[in-house]
Homo-oligomer: A and B are copies of this chain.
Amino acid sequence: MAQVVADRRDVDFVLHEQLKVENLSRHERFADFGRKTIDLVVSEARNLAIKELLSCQKEADEQGCTFENGTVTVPQSFHRVYELFRQGEWIAMCDDPKWGGQGMPSTVALAANNYFNGANYPFMLHNILSHGAGKLVECFGTDKQKELFLKKMYTGIWGGSMLLTEPEAGSDLGLLTTKAVKNDDGTYSIVGNKIFISSGENDLVENIIHPVLARIEGAPKGTAGISLFLVPKIRVNDDGSLGEFNDVVCTGIEEKMGIHGSPTCSMALGGKGLCRGTLLGKENRGMSAMFVMMNEARLHVGMQGFSCASASYLNALNYARQRVQGKSLTATTKDAPSVPLISHPDIRRILLTMKSYSEGMRSTLFYVGLLEDMVRISDSEEDQRKYQGLIDVLIPVAKGYITDRAFEMCSHGVQVFGGYGFTKEYPQEQLLRDCKITQIYEGTNGIQAMDLLGRKLSLNKGQSFKDLLDEVGKTIDTARQIKELEQIVLSLEKTVLQLKQVAQTLGEALGSENILNAYANAHPFLDVTGDVIMAWMLLWRAVVAVQKIEDKPKKKDLEFYDGQLKSARFFINTVLPVTKGKMDAILFSDTAVVDISEAAFGGK
């Protein structure tokens, strides 16, 4: 039967053949997660995703959320699905069982999330927000805060959100004005307005716990004076029972291009002077607390974007196999029969583009998950530092590069359907609309690009970026031994060499008078770094495929492995030359972006 959402064979390939995730079970922490258990988890996630989440994807998009008198109603169907999701204990897959978590490796959780997000990612936003808010409590909460809130959040009895953005403080949180005033009982009175709050208010849960960024009276200006507070919608008594309403009011929800199932709320805190919160972590350390959560959140956003692309690819593939339209270009008679779309070279080019990016993205995201797991189980601090450095460097790629490409892939996925792709009869246009926000929230992709260039390139004195390229080099060294990969190995090797040169040139420019021009090249640098990561992942896959082919696998597996070789060849021979062109342009270092006067942009 045709697969939807995510290709199970490919999910299994990455987990077991490329990343060998069951090796994690040798460590005590993941001892329960042998191959059988992993496969069971993935199968369960897939079933729930396809039977339940996917079934209400379209309906929820059409129904959307409604706002009336401070109350937000999510799509009706989400209530049932949420109950199932909650009961399946999918919210805190990787967390400590003590708090209601499942203690799963991140790598495996990402596979589950590929299915969940590809099936209905607006629904998933609710859970991701709850989990992220819970994680802040786990990392920075006092014992009492954890006792009162954490298990109920991780088990989905209560929800959570994140109150960061304000009308005048978006990418620049230093401008935020929400105030916190300390009360005699140690709590803080919070007053302020927040916008763009996913799941800030909803009717799925009886209470919502909001981590809130605010400024304590007298705190320094800018980001150095921001603290984090835990602010429940309904106050929680010491015995865990619900108390009075905490003056956290939703004042409206956004009308948006997509993710209609997820309410994007404007929130007013303390309008009646009755909003109380407790400090989460230390005073004025709110931003650094948020940064701890940033990697998880950004990886999730990458997964959301990728999952849209993954679903769009399979839909396009299935449609191209069924839809008969046009004759073969090599037909020799006028009476030649019409053929399925997949026979046409232009459609095959689109499909192979979608396939190779989907595969590269999946490997990249799961690989970051594996690194997270390695950090957790590693005994040596040096290894932990190394793995963490790799994660930190990869995050802007996993969020920024992947969602940029995912949006393009979703656009390709509409094209394959022709006019039907533009209609709501098929899921393609919704995937495109939903995908768009992944390029924007959790830091726009422009911010991701600046993060890679300005912070991550020089992280650990540049060692982490070097470590990453060394990992690429290891795969190249292995692949070099394989005759049939010779040509693409050489090509990737050259590209990596040039990327090193680009990184060095930009890195030096950062500390010079050319800093503005370096940042003008931040996004192109993200693009080319991402391209190299994709090519690496596809070469790595090809190496595994060649080895597996030697074992004379069954026909279906042979076809799959052959598809791996084709993806790698296609990507390295048709995308990397373009990557080279982008790097040539960076190295040429034209300064028009910086030089052009504001007036010369026109429009006045």
On A, residues with C-beta under 8 Å from B are 1-3, 7, 9-10, 165, 168, 170-172, 174-175, 195-196, 221-222, 224, 254-258, 264, 313-314, 317-318, 321, 324-327, 329-330, 334-335, 338, 342, 344-352, 355, 407, 411, 414-415, 418-419, 421-425, 429, 432-433, 436-437, 439-441, 444-446, 449-450, 515-517, 519-520, 522-524, 556, 559-560, 562-563, 566-567, 569-570, 573-575, 577-582, 584-585, 588, 590, 592-604
Contacts and interface: CB of A to CB of B under 8 A. Distances in A.
A603 B436 contact: no
Contact of A411 (B168, B345, B407, B584): B407
The residue in A196, A257, A441, A520 that gathers the most chain B C-beta atoms within 10 A of its C-beta is A257
Contacts of A584: 577, 580-581
Given A520-B349, A592-B566, A594-B345, A601 B436 contact: no
A301 to B, nearest CB: 13
A255 B425 CA distance: 8
A463 to B, nearest CB: 24
A172 B338 contact: yes
Contact of A516 (B329, B421, B424): B329
11 contacts: A1-B604, A7-B602, A165-B419, A170-B325, A171-B325, A171-B418, A352-B593, A419-B437, A419-B441, A570-B592, A580-B584
A224 B515 CA distance: 63
Given A257-B424, A601-B317, A602-B7, A348 B441 contact: no
A207 to B, nearest CB: 26
A321 B411 CA distance: 30
A1 B598 CA distance: 15
Given A170-B325, A351-B601, 4 more contacts: A174-B327, A345-B517, A347-B446, A578-B582
Contacts of A523: 346, 349
A174 B331 CA distance: 15
Nearest to A570: B592
Given A325-B171, A440-B418, A602 B562 contact: no
A67 B277 CA distance: 51
Contacts of A222: 334
Q: Is the interface of A mostly helix, strand, loop or mixed?
A: helix
Contacts of A581: 577-582, 584
B578 A330 contact: no
A396 to B, nearest CB: 13
A563 B419 contact: no
Contacts of A602: 3, 7, 9-10, 317, 355, 560, 563
Nearest to A346: B446
A600 B566 contact: yes
Contacts of A422: 254, 256-258, 436-437, 440
B585 A578 contact: yes
Q: How many copies does the complex hold?
A: 2
Given A172-B326, A516-B345, A577 B585 contact: yes
B3 A519 contact: no
A336 to B, nearest CB: 10
Nearest to A595: B566
B596 A433 contact: no
A3 B222 CA distance: 34
A603 B7 contact: yes
Contacts of A594: 345, 348
Given A317-B602, A573-B585, A603-B318, A418 B563 contact: no
Contacts of A7: 602-603
Contacts of A196: 419
Given A325-B171, A516-B329, A590-B570, A563 B9 contact: no
Contacts of A563: 596-597, 599-602
B592 A329 contact: no
Contact of A436 (B411, B520, B579, B604): B411
A569 B9 CA distance: 47
Contacts of A437: 419, 422
A590 B195 CA distance: 49
A425 B224 CA distance: 32
Nearest to A407: B411
A9 to B, nearest CB: 6
A538 to B, nearest CB: 11
Given A222-B334, A580-B581, A348 B446 contact: no
Given A258-B422, A578-B585, A520 B592 contact: no
Contacts of A321: 598
A603 B516 CA distance: 46
A519 B329 contact: yes
B596 A352 contact: yes
Contacts of A423: 254-257, 264
Nearest to A515: B329
B600 A345 contact: no
A309 B464 CA distance: 39
A560 B597 CA distance: 10
